[in-house]
Structure 1
Amino acid sequence: MPVSLGLGLPQMKQYDIGRDVAAVARAAEETGYESLWVFERILFPEPATQGLYGVPGLPWPDQYRSVADPLITLALAAGATGRARLGTSVLVAPLHMPFQLARSLASLDAASGGRVVAGLGTGWSLDEYAAAAVAPFEKRGAVLDELLDVCAAVWGPDPVAYEGELTTIAPSEVGPKPVRPIPVYLPANSPRATRRLVDRADGWMPVAMGATQLAEQWKRVQDLAAERGRERPVGVCARANARYSAEPVGGADRAPFHGNVAQIVEDLVAHAGTGVPEILLDLQGTTRDAAELIDVAAEVYEAARAAGV
């Protein structure tokens, strides 16, 4: 069965958000991409309190200097498309009030005809937490747990009622409701996060950093799901952060999804071989503008399908 392919929407500084999001979303859907995705970065600290992903000394990429709001980006894409699923990979849960985020996702799902996929995480940037978090960094897991509880309540039948550390909902009617239960996808970056994923989520959102590594991670998730008695399958959408170049990238140490179209497709083939059902390809960081993003995305899609992906 072919792997479902998704595309990252243009959110970065080189794009005209008001014009380019709709254009790329429409073109991607016409090409055949089955899902459209956004990510969340809210600021670019200078100097940063910590390195990228919390790794000391690892610089933040320049593409993070200006990233459009993910839910506004998805709303623009929703208005330009009619079929593609609309996903977040990921929203940093503690940067949002749980009740407000649950309502926004429900409204977007209602407006789009039931196409939202909610990928949620806890983030890593201390600077983003200082600017916007609803609780200290040390409580990030507890905030995500409460958000999951609040979403289940708000998206469920009325009257909605909830009592938590951050959220109190008196018995209330809360609408609009999602068209269908919104799938929730979570990362699995630690044993505790993997248990949360298996026990509470619909799917898993790994970063595709090598086919062998992805296969090993996927097996661990599946093994834990079996150990904990999970009966429904775990969905998967692997994020591939691509760095496109017109010319091939040489060297034995070439990172996955770095290179020209042929090399990106070669990596798609390898990662599809792990058995994951969906791969999100984010090409926006190294394409010059929306026209190039549309062209490269179409070329990759056609070549990937021709290669059996």
Structure 2
Amino acid sequence: MTIRLGFGLPQTGSYDLRTDVTTAARAAEEAGYDSVWVLERIMRPEQPVDDMYLIPGKPWADYFRSVADPLVTLSLAAAVTERVRLGSSVLVGPLHQPFLLARALGSLDAASGGRVVAGLGSGWSRDEYAAAGADHAARGAALDELLDVCEAVWGADPVSYEGTRTRFSPSAVGPKPAGRIPVLLAAGNDRSMRRLVRRADGWMPSGLSNEQVAAGRRRLTELATEAGRDPSGLSVTLRAFLDVRDRPVDGERGPFQGSVEQVAEDVAGAARAGVDEIILDQQLAHTDVQDLIARGKELRTAVRATGA
């Protein structure tokens, strides 16, 4: 199967959000991308409780100072496109009130004709949890509740729910999604992988090498088989942070780092590792949307030339 290609939309303060999101979304669709994607980061604390991604000594990236709201960004993209799917990689689910997020995603899916892909995760930053008034220690349970509420709100009326953060009596809640919204989950250990097998349509790793993805896919297959689920029904969507250079990188290089041709070969390797869709995220490498678009077109052409 040909690997599907996603395009990371420009969300950071380097871009003009009044025009660049819509310009990039239109261009991605016209270039033949299968999907457009957003991330979620709500702040950059000056004295963070946690190091970035919980990696000791790793400072928070400067672009965290300004990242546009993911659902606002997807709504802008939805309004100017007709075909590309609209994905989140990922929404930090527990930062949101479950009922309101489920309803917002359902509305976006209805408005876009059934194009939403809900990528969800539990996050890692205690600073963000504090700012959102959410309990970091209970993030796993909060994600489970969000999944419950989405299932209820997106289902047939009347719907009701009784949980820790969400309670509502039998009610009509609309608009309903235009179709079934796929749910993808970020997962980095067996506990979260088991949740994925029970409750989701696929795995959404981020920033991993092809070797790490292949190992994760093997473990996902093992856990799905143990649970009595067909592993072939679980997709893998990888968010790849690209570092594209004007010249090839000689010797050892990082994942998705190097010339356009080297990065394209890495994408082909991702397909062989079991990735169904890859998000080519290069917004941090550019400050001009036309440069972002031009490199995106070049990358897509190079990837398809590999046969991936």
Does TM, scored on the shorter chain, surpass 0.5?
yes
Q: Does 1:192 find its partner at 2:201?
A: no
Name the counterpart of 1:236: 236
The SS at the match of 2:7 is: strand
Aligned length, in residue pairs: 307
CA shift for structure 1 position 160: 0.8
Higher mean C-alpha displacement, 264-273 vs 6-15: 264-273
Match of 1:218 in 2: 217
Structure 1 runs (4+) deviating above 4 angstroms are none
TM-score by length of 2: 0.97
> How far apart, in 1, do the equivalents of 2:285 and 2:244 lie?
6
Specify the alignment match of 2:73 in structure 1. Answer: 73
TM-score (norm 1): 0.96
CA contact (8 A) 1:108 1:116 kept: yes
2:117 is paired with a residue whose SS is strand
Partner Cα distance (1:105, 1:278) in 2: 21
Q: Using the alignment, how far apart are the partners of 2:155 and 2:205 within structure 1? A: 28
Is the deviation greater in 172-181 or in 43-52?
A: 43-52
User: 1:229-273: per-residue Cα shift (whole Å, max 9, x none)?
Assistant: 014710121111112333434441x21112331221121121111
Per the alignment, in what secondary structure is the counterpart of residue 283 of structure 2?
coil
Supply the AA of the counterpart residue of 1:304: V
Q: Does 1:259 align with 2:258?
A: yes
- Mapped partners of 2:191, 2:133: distance in 1: 21
Q: State the secondary structure of the residue aligned to 2:157.
A: coil
| Unaligned 5+ runs, structure 2 | none
The SS at the match of 2:165 is coil
Residues 165-184 of structure 1 aligned to structure 2 (within 5 Å): 165-184=164-183
- Percent of aligned pairs sharing the same letter: 56
Which AA in structure 2 matches 1:219? R
Q: Distance in 2 between matches of 1:19 and 1:43?
A: 23
Q: For the aligned residues, what is the CA RMSD?
A: 1.2
Equivalences for residues 1-309 of structure 1 within 5 A = 1-134=1-134, 136-231=135-230, 233-252=233-252, 254-309=253-308
Supply the distance in 2 between the matched residues of 1:248 and 1:70 (Cα, whole angstroms): 34
Distance 1:144 1:248 in 2: 42
Q: Distance in 1 between matches of 2:63 and 2:10?
A: 11
Deviates more, 1:240-249 or 1:271-280: 240-249
In the TM superposition, residue 208 of structure 1 has moved relative to its aligned partner by 4.5
Structure 1 Cα separation of the partners of residues 269 and 295 of structure 2: 20
Taking the aligned partners of 1:27 and 1:57, their CA distance within structure 2 comes to: 38
The structure-2 alpha-carbon separation of the partners of 1:61 and 1:248, relative to structure 1 and needing over 3 Å to count, comes to farther
Q: Is the 8 A contact 2:236 2:274 kept in 1?
A: no
Which amino acid in the other structure matches residue 88 of structure 1? S
| Post-superposition offset of 1:172 | 0.5
Please list every run of 5 or more consecutive structure 1 residues that lacks an aligned counterpart in the other structure. Answer: none
Counterpart-to-counterpart distance in 1, 2:285 and 2:63: 9
